[in-house]
Amino acid sequence: MSPEKIALTQTVQKGGCAAKVAATTLRQILQQISFPPAHSALMVDGRYFDDAAIYKINEETALVQTLDFFTPIVDTPRLFGEIAAANALSDVYAMGGKPVTAMGILAFPLATLPEQVIVDVLQGASDKIAEADANFVGGHSIDDDTLKFGLSVTGLINPQQVWTNAGAQPGDHLILTKELGTGTLTAGIKRQQLREEDIMEALDSMTAINNVIHYLPADLQANIHAATDVTGFGFSGHAMQLAQASNVTLRITTDSLPRFNKTFACLEAGFLTKAHRTNAEYTTPHIDDSQLDTLHKLLIHDPQTSGGLLLSVAPEASQSIQQALRMRFKSVAIVGTVHPRQEKAVQFE
């Protein structure tokens, strides 16, 4: 069978970040593990579910390290490689770092898929790594039943300029750089109710790297107090984790959340994933979504793949940051505010 006739989403049960282990289950597993004592140079670890680890080398340099991989979320191999790479690179950008090297993680069913499929996947990833001005330096592969691909990415950052999800301050404005809805739109592809050409808006977004630092001068970067990228746990999950890590409450104006043109139609049509349910279960005890209708509740729990960055920024700089980022992210929006900690971590209005 030629690569052009293979629909990659039909070769797997789950696709993209919707294939993540449910956050509640993951936390239960991690609580049972005894991790080694942290080195004094370890600035950020997995304690607060941050996007990457930070390890200080000296006063001017720290390493940013992350890893991300998943099953196909689209049918076209090259496009899958681009999305997987953009998604992995995003974790470094979410910490304020610059990616420098990337290593591939590949599981490939040699008996059922032609070699050209993985050539195209790797080429798509290579092109996206080159766009990030990083180096594709190798990786590891296994023969497996289903295709899985991603990257281990290393970046560099000044240890004095690290963004984490623990720095949000009361009074901050919240900025989201990309639209929501990749989970439901790609579920439509998985169900063969939509074609890739029907969701080009979302595909363009998922292949866009989150290099926000490229568009922000140093004085504006200094006004970013906290950041995280919005991926498989949905906007609700990642916003909740930022609020809990920062010991604040986020107040979200839900109507201001950017979404793709077909997002509500696909949610209403029932194009859902298991993650819509598990994200709701994960966040329900810690958020107030009582003012939302059914579609908006599904929207905030929609699992994103290569989603946008959620930034907590000084209020006096929010308009300037939004304007600067609009050069690259056309739907960037101010979506809420940060307040002293209340009963719930996130309030949706």
Active site residues: 17
Hey, how many other C-beta atoms are within 10 angstroms of the C-beta on 115? Answer: 10
Residue 172 near residue 310, CB atoms below 8 Å: no
What is the rounded end-to-end Cα distance, in angstroms, of the chain? 51
Nearest-angstrom CA–CA distance, 280 and 264: 17
* Residue 204, C-beta contacts closer than 8 angstroms, at least 6 positions apart: none
Q: What is the largest CA-CA distance in the chain?
A: 58
Judged by DSSP in three states, 135 sits in strand
Place of tokens 């630092």: 213
**Cβ contacts of 293 within 8 Å, gap of 6 or more:** none
Residue listed under structure tokens 């793709």: 260
The neighbouring-strand residues paired with 340 are 248
Q: How big is the chain by its Cα radius of gyration, in Å?
A: 19
Q: Is 7 helix (H, G, I), strand (E, B) or coil?
A: coil
In DSSP notation, 23-69 reads HHHHHHHHTT--PPPPPTTEEE-TTTT-SSEEEE-SSS-EEEEEEEE
DSSP states of 242-298 as a string? Answer: HHHHHTEEEEE-GGGS-B-TTHHHHHHTT---HHHHHHHHHHGGGEE-TT--HHHHH
* C-beta of residue 268 within 8 angstroms of C-beta of residue 181: no
Taking alpha carbons only, the member of 349, 328, 321 closest to residue 163 is 321
Tell me which residue of 278, 242, 128, 256 sits closest to 180, measured CA to CA: 256
